[in-house]
Structures are given as structure tokens and as C-alpha cells.
């Protein structure tokens, strides 16, 4: 994962808050995934169309955590979501002509 990668959320993937957790569901496959409040905030920022760099900067401003920890947690979460096909990661270079 690079902070320049593009993340898209497929149309069939829905997210709902249940208590303090956010649940993500792929309506086509039935796969679901739970997010804690920090993961839910990342999901919200991604849903707003923010770049990974912008997500990282927002998280740095909102949480007192070192940059390397935020980048590692963001990378781990995105890898898990991509593995379950709940997001699509596209390297920036793939979108260039």
C-alpha cells in the first residue's frame, strides 16, 4: 500500500453502525467485517473520497499516535478489507493513461 493508491468501495458493499462497532457487508457474497471506532473513522474518511494520504493526515490530527503506527494500522486494515473484496485498491500509476 502506498499513500497514493486509490481506494474504491464497491456498490454492493454497505456499512452500518451497530452500537460502537461499524459492520461492513458485501450484499453479493454475504461477507461481513466488523470495525472498531478507529477503523470506522477510517472507513468514513474513505467513503468521503479522501485519498490515503488525506486519511492519514486526518487520523494524525484526530489521534495522538505516531505517523508510522497510523500508516501501519491503515495498511493492515486496507489489506484485510481488500482480501475480503470489501474495497478495491488501485495503484496510482494504474489510473494514468
Question: Residue 34 has which C-alpha cell?
Answer: 466488523
Q: Is the pLDDT of residue 6 over 90?
A: no
Residue whose cell numbers read 470506522: 40
39-86, pLDDT tens digit by residue?
Answer: 999 999 999 988 899 999 999 999 999 999 999 999 999 999 999 999
pLDDT interval class at 93 (50, 70, 90): low
Give the per-residue pLDDT at 26.
Answer: 96
pLDDT digits (tens, 9 = 90+) for 27-47: 999 999 999 999 999 999 999
Q: CA 75 from chain center: how many Å?
A: 9
- Asked if 86 contacts 13 with a C-beta cutoff of 8 angstroms, the reply is yes
CATH architecture of 6-86: Orthogonal Bundle (1.10)
Strands (E), the chain: 6-8, 13-18, 21-26, 32-35, 88-90
Q: What pLDDT score does 44 carry?
A: 93
Amino acid at each position: 500500500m502506498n499513500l497514493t493508491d486509490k481506494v474504491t468501495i464497491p456498490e454492493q458493499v454497505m456499512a452500518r453502525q451497530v452500537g460502537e462497532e461499524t459492520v461492513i457487508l458485501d450484499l453479493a457474497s454475504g461477507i461481513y467485517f466488523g470495525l472498531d471506532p478507529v477503523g470506522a473513522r477510517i472507513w468514513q474518511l474513505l467513503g468521503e473520497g479522501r485519498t490515503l494520504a488525506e486519511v492519514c493526515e486526518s487520523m494524525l490530527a484526530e489521534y495522538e499516535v505516531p505517523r508510522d503506527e497510523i500508516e501501519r494500522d491503515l495498511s493492515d486494515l486496507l489489506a484485510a478489507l481488500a482480501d475480503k473484496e470489501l474495497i478495491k485498491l488501485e495503484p496510482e500509476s494504474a489510473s494514468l493513461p
